[in-house]
Amino acid sequence: MAMAPPVPPPGRAGPPGAVLFVCAYNSVRSPMAAAMFRQYFGHRSYVGSAGVRRGDPDPFATAVMEEIGLDLSGHKPMTFEELEDLEGLNFDLIITLSPEAHHRALEVTRTLAIDVEYWPTHDPGAVEEGSRAQRLDAYREIRDQLLARIEQRFGSGGFGS
As a whole-number percent, the residues of the chain with pLDDT over 90 amount to 67
Give residue-wise pLDDT tens across range 17-74: 999 999 999 999 999 999 999 999 988 899 999 999 999 999 999 999 999 999 999 9
Q: What are the start-end ranges of the E strands in 8-145?
A: 18-23, 46-51, 93-96, 115-118
* Secondary structure element (H or E) that encloses residue 74, with its range: none
pTM of the full predicted structure? 0.88
Q: What are φ and ψ of residue 93, in 5° steps? A: -145, 135
Per-residue model confidence (pLDDT) at position 129: 79
Inter-CA distances, 120 with 6, 7, 32, 72, 102, Å: 28, 25, 15, 22, 9
User: What was the pLDDT predicted at 13?
Assistant: 61
Is the torsion defined by CA of 37, 42, 45, 48 positive or negative? positive
Identify which has the larger pLDDT, 6 or 55: 55
CB 50 within 8 A of CB 88: no
Confidence of residue 157 (pLDDT cuts 50, 70, 90): low
| 74-130: pLDDT as tens digits | 999 999 889 888 877 889 999 999 999 999 999 988 988 899 999 999 988 777 778
Average pLDDT, the chain: 87
How far apart CA 152 and CA 145 sit, in angstroms, is 10
Beta carbons within 8 Å of 142's beta carbon, 6+ residues apart: 28, 29, 32, 121, 122, 123, 124
> What pLDDT score does 86 carry?
84
For the chain, list the domains and their CATH numbers: 23-154 (3.40.50.2300)
